[in-house]
Structure 1
Amino acid sequence: MSGARKPVETAERGTARQTVTIHFAGFNRAWAAWIGDRLERRGVRVVPLRWDSPADVPLVDLLRDLTLAEGRVLIIVSEWYFQLGPRTHEEWNAALREIVAPDPSRFAAVSVTTAAVPAAAAVLAPVALTNMGAEEAERRLLDRLDLSPDTPADGAADSRRGPRFPAAMPDVWGVVPRRNTRFTGREPLFNEAYHLLQSAEPGAGVLTLHGMSGVGKTQFAAEYAHRFGSEYDVVWWVNAEKRVTYRRQLAELAPKLGLRTGQEYGERLRAVRDALRRGEPYSRWLLILDGADEPEQIWDLLPTGPGHVIVTSRNPEWSEHNSKLLEVRVYPRDESVAFIRRRAPRLSEAEADQLAEALGDLPLLLDQTAGWLNDSDLSVDEYIALLEGGIDSDVVKVSADFPLAFQTAWSILLNKLRETVPESVDLLRLCTFFAPGFIPVRLLKEMPVDELPEQLAGLLNDPLLWNKAINQLRTYSVVRLESHEASLDEPVSAGESLYLHRMVHQIVHKDMPDADRGEFIDVVRRALAAADPGRPTETRLWPGYAEIVPHLKYADVLKSKDAKVQRLVLNCLRYMYFSGEYRAGIKLGERALTAWRRLLGPTHARIWELTYHYTNLLRAMGDYARTESLSRDAVEHLREERGPQDLDHLRAAAGLGGDLRGLARYDEALELSQWVLAAYRELLGDQDSRTLNAQNNLGVSLRLLGRYEETLETDRSTMEARRQLLRARHPWALSSEITYAIDLRLLGRYADAESLQAKNVRENRLVMGPDNPQTLKAEYNLALCRYRLGERAPRGEEPGTMLSSVLERGERVLGETHPLTLIFATGQSCYAREHGDIDQARELSEAIVARYEMMLPAGHPFIAGSRANQALILRNVGEREHGHVLVEQALAEMTQAVGENHPWTLGCALNASALRNLVGDTEGAAELSRDSVARAIESLGRTHPLTLSTRIAYAADLRGLRDRRQAEKVEQEALSDLDATLGSKHTHTVSARSRNRPYWDFEPQTT
């Protein structure tokens, strides 16, 4: 051809280092990668060149520029290649005849489609690579480029693992939405996403696609999976809108990976996460989490490892969870126009531009509008006139982020649905009383026929009408099925969920006639109540509650007088308490208390039941002053109205006992706990679960008073009874094992405590889940048992590793100021102080003191104890005087709070005597040590670890007074008891023999 440049290198068969430029549409990137890899292995230099076809540049000029590329130009022929622009077949035929036909040897082509392409593409002589295996496809490719199949492959390149043949699916491919053949553009975004993931460090390949609703985040993620799927062995799509659904769908990957697990999906989930982390059996995996708008609900479950994770979310807060962010914005205008013209071929480029302008280039609206506009007689000008207010000028805007045209467009679509299948609008409106997202329509299908209003009975009980309504909604992308692979003509199972976008949800809800609202909301409320699993303490039923809870708000259940609906609310609150969803439970409880007081009256029986569950949640978050006021009001009212032996009164009194313990009014709490237990025993007997709960509370009161032997016996009795009455792995039985193991540890029986706690941790992880507060408490106690035991622990479960893990998860799941988190932080600070990270110890300690001072009343023993811990840190960093002042303050406050014989006071005294010694007050130190020994022997016995520590300390103080004879006697007796109690090789014994002065760590207890 005239003026065309000759190939850079000859294309004769067998010539080394031939250069080939691969020209491809982004949609066919996988083919380009595979072809490039095959050629590079044959010594060919490959230049990939993605095809971009801006509509404002003539196609002839674009092809002429292509002749400037290096070497031969290999075009990957597909319908996508010719549609970019979009260009008509007539344009292509003219350009191919003008540019390619005069010099066909400069171009070569392979075809990866069976769809119709421009007739003049024949000049490219494309060889088909579809409907065959990889070996035959490679043979044809090489033949088309005049490369001999016998050409030796490059050794270095051949040793690496290349891309999978694009026609072959990854080994594991799960529920990825079907490829959208109308997908348009986004090429710069794909390039950036691909680069971010490929350049990420192992274990850090997490990318969040975020943006406003309707911009096409899910569509982009699906296209990414199809486009780059050949580079992975596993591609798995998970609905991540709700934690329970995410857990279940990720767990379903277990059998696909060939993992041998039981049927319990918690076990499967753990196995899947471990397999992905290790990269076995597959290291090249891609996990897509769709609709993860609440990162705090699931980010702790994100797999780590050699693979990649893509998250779609409206929430940019994923950046706080080690994820890279990539914003998905509305289409650029040229992409909007290209998309509309493929969706609505009857529209001209100018009309598509008009429509894109009216719809604000929002992909969701373009998709839902252009399709039916193509089938309508309505002109674009007429449609835009409607958008400007002719059909519904009073529509309220959903949010400032979306133009008025959005709501108006939906009004037009809803009118069309009413004209075609009116039942589809009824179904859509019914769905808006569930939370947006996945709507569990099976709950509606399971309702008794006689409970349905006439308007809905036909729809819900006629399978043909039901499927017709849903398919009409799916046709216009109003809803989709949770089963991503379902086609429009497949029947809808009663077990399916419908996906309803948030914006659609809001607009349809606002558009609903008032006459329908009452009937529709009542149906949804009764459907939710009928789905109540009924036992909130049963962990295997928690997924059911997790599915129901998000819908309570949208069904406005708090305004219902139906007793079943109200029981559902109470059960959900109880579930949220046991599962550790404290904050969400408190919000629901607050709203319920306000609504029910107005609905039922301030003294209705259900108010007191609600108050009990609400205060449990508040108490779990440490808001003791507020709960004490609420509990006392309930106790006083119920005692006056029903008498002291009323069961509701006893339950409220038990709650008040917990408030008193939280406020450190331990003597009052003990007295109340004893009275409640006696009353329950009289009314219900020893073996009722409520009696055992009261007995458990008595054990808590005794432990906080430092009466550890009594606590041990009480908790042992409770544990054995719960095991027998409930079952060994019931959450309450497991909780009793934790408290019993704590008692053993506090009494110095470290080996017994560690053995029981290790078993208990495994069972809590299995039953409660790894991040449940009860599991965290169990792991924390196990870490302390191993720390005190001083023996080597299994790798990964050493005390320091476990303490760090528990604190990190506690802060993430519960928050930094939760009572349990502060307990975990205390343990971590003490451990860090003794194992070299003094800066971390000090930072944690100062934060703990500050938070306790803010949360608890002045004079609380937890404040005094945390100050005693801080004094030890000051001692270690050389601030002796400051530490001495602080520990003396802590000793005085602790004595005032719990008395001079309490173990906490004795511990403060042990530390105070050490600081007195350091600042030169040897007489004061010896006097305090001598007094502490006497009180410790009286309170705890001669061989309790704390007593032994005071005896060793006293011997040191006697040496300071130069009373060596008495010091030797006291020391030898203490060492003898240490040998007998803990063993000669225990760290405490060894340390004492080396004359290292003992110290005491304050450990806050649960209340």
Structure 2
Amino acid sequence: MSIVAVEGMAGVGKTRFAVHAAHRLAADYPDGQFYLDLHGFSAGSTPAAPGAVLETMLRRLGVPASAIPESVDDRSTLLRDRLADRRVLLVLDNAADEAQVSPLLPAASGCLVIVTSRRALAMDGACVIVLDVFSPAEARELLTGLLGPDRVAAEPASVEELAGRCGHLPLAVAVAGRRLRGRPAWRVAHLLARLSDPDRGLAEFTVGARGVEDVFALSYRALPAARQRLFRLLGVHLGDDVTAALAAALVGDDPADAERDLEALLDEHLVQQVRPGRHELHDLLRRYAARQVAATPDEAAAARRRLVDWYVATADGATRLIRRFPLPPVGRVPEPVAPVPGFGDEEAALRWLDAEFANLRAAIHGAADLPAWRNAVVLVHLLQPYLVRRGQVDDALATLRAAAEAARGLDDPVAEAYTLTALGQAHDTAGRTDRSLELLRDALERHVRLGQAVGEATTRHHLAMVFRRLGRHRDAIAEYRRAVVLFRAAGDGQWEASALSGLSVDLHLAGRDEEALAQALRALSLQRVVGGPGLARVENNVGLLHARLGRHAEAVPYALRALAWQRRTGSRPGQANALANLAFSYARTGRPTEAVRAAAEAVEIARDLGPDLRAKTWNTLGEAHRSAGDHAAALRCHREALDIATRIGEAEEQARARAGIDDASVPAGT
């Protein structure tokens, strides 16, 4: 006997697949083909009892009622005896579990049994086929068959979007297609508009008595109460996927229990496993879960608060390992109900942040009540060091805008001022100087009015960076000096070291090199005392100043130490900066090949980072190519840098690019 188990989520086409296969194979089983619906998941009926199914099969095989024994075991033995010398194909559709199927299996080697189920069935020796949803091409083919090629060709984009809204689930695609077929006056775009209406929801995926929601309901109602609760609470989660730890936060349970329930939902094909330990719902099942939890609004609100509390607490633990500066006074980290994972080192913390960022972003943007607003503000500020480390400028801007709106909703002027400061800095990183100045000046006025000395100092620090971009080095120096005084008075060594380091750069750009180096060394001495991830940046600046003073042999060790630290911590902007500075010194110490290699890596890393860093790395690559004698490549690089720097108003990089273009245009020695 051969057994094929066909599994998959509700609506994926298991029955159609099994019946189609049986028709194709019928000639190989001349002694009969049997189809039996076991009603494992059927509306208005309970799973068929094995004894009753055996009686039906035995009667079809010609056994008189009087000869059919009473017990299930005896009936099963009789079935196997009757099929012993026959080649029979048996389709057992819609099985509830292994216990229902086992007594129905023949023993004859010439028989084939195809079993379909929404559950993963553990049957020895079975070949398991797990059906997936349609590919986009398969969904389009079905819709073309239902609607006709002309109607599909008239709205190709809408047809593709409709398949996507169906999650490419065969049942949903078929129902949507039949709904349109029965309504020739409807355009596909009209059905899409109806599907977007939250009041209609899954009801649009219904034709006659056949509906996607009803099919999902059969699986949901078959679950034990605890797993029903977990499934519907997954509808609260706005992110992409779910771990056991996150599920535990949703339900307020132990992660081990949550993992067991998630695995059970996986066996029921109500969730999918995208990678080990991470599960997600099909789009339509997510909508169904959200619909179920919407019926219990208090339960949904409590789960959402538990989830966001857990995210804030876990993000605090993860970013604590990479934060250079303390969390500003925008709110407190809550005590979560569910356990928070620990992180042994920065690498583990960054792995978690990388894996969870899409979910964290969804939690921020999905905040809908006052407690969630407070958590959203705190979470955004906790994530800024990570976003800076990874160079995710657009995400920094989007999340900070959400935090500023939430702070206004909370009527918290301190949180709003600190958020505007961070938002101004993010705009500066994105090269949007005018907007950055506007936000930072607004934030500065608020901090001064509120008596927030550290907030004022932080804002002045960021203003100085904008002035540097504009070539206003005197203004930058003045702001850095004010910030240093305020940070020192507040006893904040981390920020003071950062301000001293920034001051040193602008002193150099103003032509005050010896004073610049003295301030940079002060910053390095202080940073070594306070420790933390800021050390790499300060080391980098000290090396850069040595290089700008022509002391390239001294500059290289600083740049190498900074690069090693930034590689260890995973800071992409830090790596790009250190590599550019290293290439700058290599080019001037007779090491052109190493200069080109380092600068090219810097350009690659900075490709999707801030425009000022992209301009810097392109300029450095141009200088490296020129040191190697490749003037054509140098010219191309400097022109790329000039284009970027001109768009963002970066005065220093524009000057470097123009000088490089002039130098690269004429081969050396002519």
TM-score bucket of the superposed structures, by smaller chain: 0.5 to 0.7
Letter matched to residue 710 of structure 1: E
- Which residue of structure 2 aligns with residue 397 of structure 1? 195
| Conserved? CA contact 1:92–1:118, under 8 Å | no
SS at match of 2:195: coil
- Which residue of structure 1 aligns with residue 394 of structure 2? 583
Letter matched to residue 354 of structure 2: A
Report the count of equivalent residues: 503
> Which residue among 443, 449, 459 is the counterpart of 1:652?
459
- Which residue of structure 1 aligns with residue 605 of structure 2? 809
Equivalent-residue separation in structure 2 for 1:648 and 1:749 (angstroms): 37
- Which residue of structure 1 aligns with residue 437 of structure 2? 628
Greater Rg over alpha carbons, structure: 1
| Conserved? CA contact 2:271–2:281, under 8 Å | yes
1:738 and 2:540 are equivalent in the alignment = yes
Q: How does 1:499-538 map to 2 (within 5 A)?
A: 499-509=280-290, 512-513=293-294, 515-516=296-297, 517-534=300-317, 536=319, 538=321
Kindly report the root-mean-square deviation, in angstroms, between the aligned alpha carbons of the 2 structures: 4.4
Cα distance, 1:90–1:844 mapped onto 2, change above 3 Å: closer
Unaligned runs of 5+ in 1: 1-79, 96-115, 122-177, 185-212, 217-326, 337-357, 371-379, 485-495, 877-990, 998-1007
Cα distance, 1:180–1:792 mapped onto 2, change above 3 Å: farther
Q: How does 1:743-758 map to 2 (within 5 A)?
A: 743-758=545-560
- Which residue of structure 1 aligns with residue 403 of structure 2? 592
- Which residue of structure 2 aligns with residue 545 of structure 1? 353
Q: How does 1:210-249 map to 2 (within 5 A)?
A: 214-215=133-134
Cα distance, 1:475–1:721 mapped onto 2, change above 3 Å: same
Cα distance, 1:542–1:88 mapped onto 2, change above 3 Å: closer
- Which residue of structure 2 aligns with residue 349 of structure 1? none
- Which residue of structure 2 aligns with residue 831 of structure 1? 624
Cα distance, 1:823–1:468 mapped onto 2, change above 3 Å: closer
1:498 and 2:308 are equivalent in the alignment = no
Letter matched to residue 431 of structure 1: L
Equivalent-residue separation in structure 1 for 2:400 and 2:475 (angstroms): 27
- Which residue of structure 1 aligns with residue 379 of structure 2? 568
- Which residue of structure 1 aligns with residue 42 of structure 2? none
Q: Deviations over 1:444-473 (max 9, x none)?
A: 52x5xxxx9xxx56xx36977x67854663
- Which residue of structure 1 aligns with residue 503 of structure 2? 698
Letter matched to residue 556 of structure 2: E
Q: How does 1:403-422 map to 2 (within 5 A)?
A: 404-405=204-205, 409-421=211-223, 422=225
- Which residue of structure 1 aligns with residue 574 of structure 2? 774
SS at match of 2:315: coil
Q: Compute the displacement of 1:546 (Å).
A: 3.2
Cα distance, 1:409–1:394 mapped onto 2, change above 3 Å: farther
Cα distance, 1:578–1:515 mapped onto 2, change above 3 Å: same
- Which residue of structure 1 aligns with residue 265 of structure 2? 473
> Which residue among 565, 585, 609 is the counterpart of 2:418?
609
> Which residue among 709, 719, 723 is the counterpart of 2:514?
709
1:763 and 2:565 are equivalent in the alignment = yes
Equivalent-residue separation in structure 2 for 1:179 and 1:870 (angstroms): 70
| Conserved? CA contact 1:826–1:844, under 8 Å | yes
1:870 and 2:668 are equivalent in the alignment = no
- Which residue of structure 1 aligns with residue 186 of structure 2? none
1:675 and 2:458 are equivalent in the alignment = no
> Which residue among 166, 169, 182 is the counterpart of 2:129?
182
| Conserved? CA contact 1:558–1:596, under 8 Å | no
TM-score when normalising by structure 1: 0.44
Q: Compute the displacement of 1:670 (Å).
A: 0.6
Equivalent-residue separation in structure 1 for 2:216 and 2:238 (angstroms): 20
> Which residue among 401, 420, 432 is the counterpart of 2:235?
432
Identity across matched positions, percent: 15
Letter matched to residue 91 of structure 1: A
Q: Deviations over 1:481-521 (max 9, x none)?
A: 4675xxxxxxxxxxx54322344324533564264243332
Q: Deviations over 1:51-72 (max 9, x none)?
A: xxxxxxxxxxxxxxxxxxxxxx
Letter matched to residue 524 of structure 1: L
| Conserved? CA contact 1:526–1:565, under 8 Å | no
Letter matched to residue 814 of structure 1: L
SS at match of 1:524: helix
Q: Compute the displacement of 1:614 (Å).
A: 1.9
TM-score when normalising by structure 2: 0.65
Equivalent-residue separation in structure 2 for 1:361 and 1:118 (angstroms): 50
Letter matched to residue 624 of structure 2: Y
Q: How does 1:836-851 map to 2 (within 5 A)?
A: 837-851=630-644
Equivalent-residue separation in structure 1 for 2:228 and 2:533 (angstroms): 45
Cα distance, 1:545–1:388 mapped onto 2, change above 3 Å: farther
SS at match of 1:528: helix
Q: Compute the displacement of 1:571 (Å).
A: 0.5
Unaligned runs of 5+ in 2: 1-16, 32-82, 89-124, 146-161, 184-190, 323-345
| Conserved? CA contact 1:436–1:501, under 8 Å | no
Structure showing greater relative contact order (alpha-carbon pairs closer than 8 Å, 6 or more residues apart): 2
Equivalent-residue separation in structure 2 for 1:359 and 1:874 (angstroms): 55
Q: Compute the displacement of 1:429 (Å).
A: 3.1
Equivalent-residue separation in structure 2 for 1:873 and 1:363 (angstroms): 55
| Conserved? CA contact 2:167–2:284, under 8 Å | no
Letter matched to residue 379 of structure 2: L
Equivalent-residue separation in structure 1 for 2:464 and 2:305 (angstroms): 39
| Conserved? CA contact 2:233–2:289, under 8 Å | no
1:788 and 2:571 are equivalent in the alignment = no
Cα distance, 1:438–1:180 mapped onto 2, change above 3 Å: farther
| Conserved? CA contact 2:552–2:585, under 8 Å | yes
1:639 and 2:435 are equivalent in the alignment = no
